Chains A and B, each alone.
With several copies, the nearest count.
Chain A
Amino acid sequence: MDLEFGASYQRLREEVREFCAAHWPPRGEEAELPPRDQAIRFRQRAIEAGILFRTVPREYGGAGGETDVLSETVIRQELDAARTPHRSSVQGTHMLVPTLLECGTEEQKQSYIAKTLTGELRWCQGYSEPGAGSDLASLQSRAELDGEHWVLNGQKIWTSQATEADMMFGLFRTEPEAQKHAGISYLLVPMDTPGIDARILKMINGGQDFCEVFFDDARVPAANIVGRRGEGWKVSRSTLKHERLLIGDASGARRSFDGLLDLARRAQRGGQPAIRDAGVRQRLAEIEGYVASQEYAVARMLTAIHKNEDMKVMNEMLMAKLLSTNTGQLVARLAMELLGDEGLTMPTAEDAAMGIPSEYTDSYWVSHSMMTLGTAIAGGASNIQRNIIGERLLGLPRDPRKG
C-alpha cells in the first residue's frame, strides 16, 4: 500500500507544473486578448505539449499518445492548482469527442474534433426533456427527414450554456412508431439554425447555467447524424467506456470540507468561534468521516482501474454518486446552520454559478446549500441510484414496472 503517486508521476507532475508556470497566466501582448482567446491558446499549447487530450489521435487535433488514470489525475490536479482554463466545453470534449471517435464519419471527425478540443467550437447537450428526466427513453422531441434535412420540433431542458454554444449534440425521435429506446437518432445541430430558441432557465439560487431549447421546424442537414438512424441511444452510450479515465479525485469534497471548517471558524456561536463549540465539532468530525471515505474510495478506484481490475471496485463505482450526494447534504445543512443571518440574503451572481468556487465565501455557502438539492437529481435521481445499488450490487429483484 502506497499513497504517494511515486517517482514517475512525480516527474510528470513537475513537467505539468513547469508548463503551467510558463504559459498561464499569459504575458505580453497575449494578456491583452479577450479571455476566451487566451484560453483557446492555452489549450492549443497544452495539446501540443502532450498534456491535454493525450489519447485523441494527432490527425484529429489531439496529442496522440498513451495515458493512464493516474497520469490523468496528476495532470488535472496541476492544471486545477494553477487555475488554468483547461476545461473548455466539457460536454464537447468529454462526451461528443469520444462519441465521434467511436461512431462518427471521417468527415465529422475532421470537422469537429480539433476545434472542440481547443474550445473554438462550443457544444451543448440535448438529451433531457421536460417529460423525460430519469426516464430518458421516453423523450418526445422529433426529427423528420424532409429531403436533405432533418426537421426538428420539440423541447430540450437542462441544456448547460445553450445560449453560448455553437452546436448541440442531441437525441431526437426519428422513428415515432418504434418503442422507447429504439427509434431515437443522435444529431448534430448548429445553434444558429432558424427555428431554434434557447432561453435561460433561472435557478432557485439565481444561477443562469441552464437553458431550455425550443425547436420549431428547425432544419438541419441530413448528414448531421452520428451512427445509424434509430441507433442514437446506443451511440450516446458509446462514451461510457471513456469515463473510466475520468474518475473524480475527491479533492473537491476535501476542499469543500476545508471551506466548511473555515466557515465554522468565522461563524460565532455563544460569543466564540463556532468551531470551538462541542456540538459543531462533533458534526464536523462526523462529516469528515464521509469525506475521507470518499477520498479513499477514489484512491481505491484509481488503483484498480490503473491495474485493469475494474471489477474489484464495482461497489465504489456504483456508490460514488450517492455517497457524494449524501455528504453534500450533510455539509449543506451544517453550513446553513452556521451561516445564520447570511442565509437570509441571495448569493452573488458569481457564487450562484455552477462549478468549483475560487473561494468559499458566505455567499457561496448560501448558494451551495440550495444547489445540493440538485445533486440528488442531476445525472439520475437518488432513487434510481438506490435501485442500481440494490439490483446490481445486492442482487435484489428488479422493479417490475420499468421499461
Chain B
Amino acid sequence: MDFSLSEEQELLQDTVRSYTANECPPPRVREVFDGESGHDADLWKGLVEMGLAGLAVPEAHGGAGLGLLDSALVCEVLGAGAVPAPFLGHTLAVLALRLGGSAPQQERWLPALASGDRLGTVALGEAGGAWAPEEWTLSLQGERADGAKTRVPAGPEAGLVVVGGAGGALGLVDASAGGLRWSAEDSLDRGRRLYALELEEVPIETLAPGTGARVRDAALVLLAADAFGAGTRLVRMAVDYAQARQQFGQPIAAFQAVKHQLANMALDIDPTRGLFWYAAHAFDHLPEESARAAALAKAHITDRAMQVARDAIEIHGGIGMTWECDAQIWFKRALFDRQWAGTPDTHRARLADLGGW
C-alpha cells in the first residue's frame, strides 16, 4: 500500500508552484482578473514550456503521458494560486482525444495540443444547467453541427473545441474552420472567463461513444482538486489576516472564538485531499469505481471549499467583502469549481444512484 505522491509528483507541484508564485503573484492575478480578456498569454506560454499543455498527452504524441492524478495535482496548485490559465478546458480536450480519438485524430491533434500550438477547450454544458451527458441535446449526426452550448472556458482563444452532443457523444471542432459564434458571459470568476457558443453548420468529427461521460468524470476530479487548492489557500489567507488584524488591542487570532473558527476551517478542507487523489487514481486504474469516486470528490470538496471561502470572507470582516481584497478572487475561484459541471447536490444524487442505494 502506498497512498502518497511519488517524488516526481511532488516535484511537479513544487515546480508549478514556484513558477506561478513568481510569474503570477496575487498582484498579477488581480491584473488579469480585472483585465479585458482574463487571459494571460505570456503566463500560458510559460506553463506550456514547462510541459503542462502536454501533461496528459501520450509520449508518442509529444506529451508527458501522465495520469489524471498528475493533472489534478497541477489543478490544486493553480487553484491555490487562483492562476488565470486555461488548463482545465485544455486538459479535458486532451483527455477527450486520448480516450475517444481515432489514431488519425490523435495523430492530427495531440501533438499540436501538447506543444501548445493549439489551445483546447470543452463545450459541455447547455442552457438550464444541462451538464449530464444524457441531457445534452446538440445533434452530432452528419458532418456538420448546429446548436448552442454555454459556460465554455477560453472561448475565442481556443483552437480546438470538444463539443458534447446528444447521447453523451463528443465531437471535435476545428475553431479555425469558422462558423463558431462566441459571446462572452459576464463571468464571476474573471480569471477563467466563460463564453456562450453557437455553432452554425460547423464541420465536426465524432469521437468514440461513451467518451462524454469519461470526460465529465475527469472534469469533476480536476474541479475538486482546484477547489482543494483554493480552499487551503483561503484558510491561509484568513489565518494571516487574523494574525495581522488588531482589535481591542490584540490580533483577532488571539480571540478563542476566532481561533476555533480558523481551526474548523482547516478541519473542513484539509482532510478532503484524499478524495481527489483517490478519484484521480481510480479514473486511470479502477474504472468500475471511477464515476462514483469523481462525483464524491466533486460534491464533497467543492462544498467544503465553498464553506471555507464564506468563513474566510467573514474572518476578513467588511474588507473581505470588497473587490480590492484578494479573498474575493479566491472565493469566486471556489464558487466556479462548485457550480461548473453541476452542483454538489446533483452529484450526490448521482453517487447515490451509482451506489445502488
Contacts and interface: CB of A to CB of B under 8 A. Distances in A.
A249 B235 CA distance: 28
Interface residues of A, number: 97
Interface in A374-403: 374, 376-378, 381-383, 385-387, 389-391, 393-397, 399-403
A289 B239 contact: no
B60 interface: no
B27 interface: no
Given A204-B331, A345-B186, A303 B1 contact: yes
Interface string A85-116: 00000000000000000000000000000000
Nearest to B242: A396
Given A294-B271, A337-B344, A344-B185, A1 B2 contact: yes
Contacts of A306: 1
Contact of A201 (B1, B303, B324): B324
B267 A323 contact: yes
A202 B4 contact: no
Nearest to A296: B274
B247 interface: yes
A281 interface: yes
A303 B4 CA distance: 7
Given A6-B1, A282-B345, A376-B314, A383 B271 contact: no
Contacts of B266: 315, 319, 389, 393-394
Nearest to B2: A2
A245 interface: no
Given A9-B1, A289-B300, A401 B248 contact: yes
A337 B345 contact: yes
B274 A297 contact: yes
A275 interface: yes
Contacts of B264: 386
Interface in B114-162: 125, 128-129, 150-151
A173 B340 CA distance: 50
A5 B1 contact: yes
B247 A390 contact: no
B348 interface: yes
Nearest to B327: A204
Q: Name the prevailing secondary structure of the A interface residues.
A: helix
Contacts of B328: 204
Interface residues of B, number: 85
A246 interface: no
A291 to B, nearest CB: 10
B1 A281 contact: no
A383 B128 CA distance: 39
Contacts of A158: 318
B208 interface: no
A401 B3 contact: no
Contact of B253 (A296, A397, A403): A397
A286 B307 CA distance: 14
A344 B188 contact: yes
B258 A3 contact: no
A171 to B, nearest CB: 17
B259 interface: yes
A322 B310 CA distance: 16
Interface in B265-307: 266-267, 270-275, 277-278, 281, 296, 299-300, 303-304, 306
A396 B253 contact: yes
Interface in A286-337: 286, 288-290, 292-297, 299-300, 302-304, 306-307, 309, 312, 315-316, 319, 322-323, 326, 329, 336-337
Given A337-B345, A340-B129, A289 B299 contact: yes
Given A344-B336, A394-B239, 19 more contacts: A128-B318, A201-B322, A204-B313, A268-B129, A275-B357, A286-B299, A289-B300, A293-B271, A297-B271, A297-B274, A299-B1, A316-B270, A345-B194, A377-B317, A383-B257, A383-B260, A389-B263, A390-B260, A401-B248
7 contacts: A1-B4, A261-B357, A275-B357, A289-B296, A315-B270, A343-B188, A345-B185
Interface of A: 1-6, 9, 70, 128, 130-131, 133-135, 138, 157-158, 201-204, 206, 210, 261, 264, 268-270, 275, 278-279, 281-282, 284-286, 288-290, 292-297, 299-300, 302-304, 306-307, 309, 312, 315-316, 319, 322-323, 326, 329, 336-337, 339-341, 343-346, 366, 370-371, 373-374, 376-378, 381-383, 385-387, 389-391, 393-397, 399-403
Top 5 nearest A-B pairs (CB, nearest first) are A296-B274, A289-B300, A285-B348, A299-B3, A340-B129
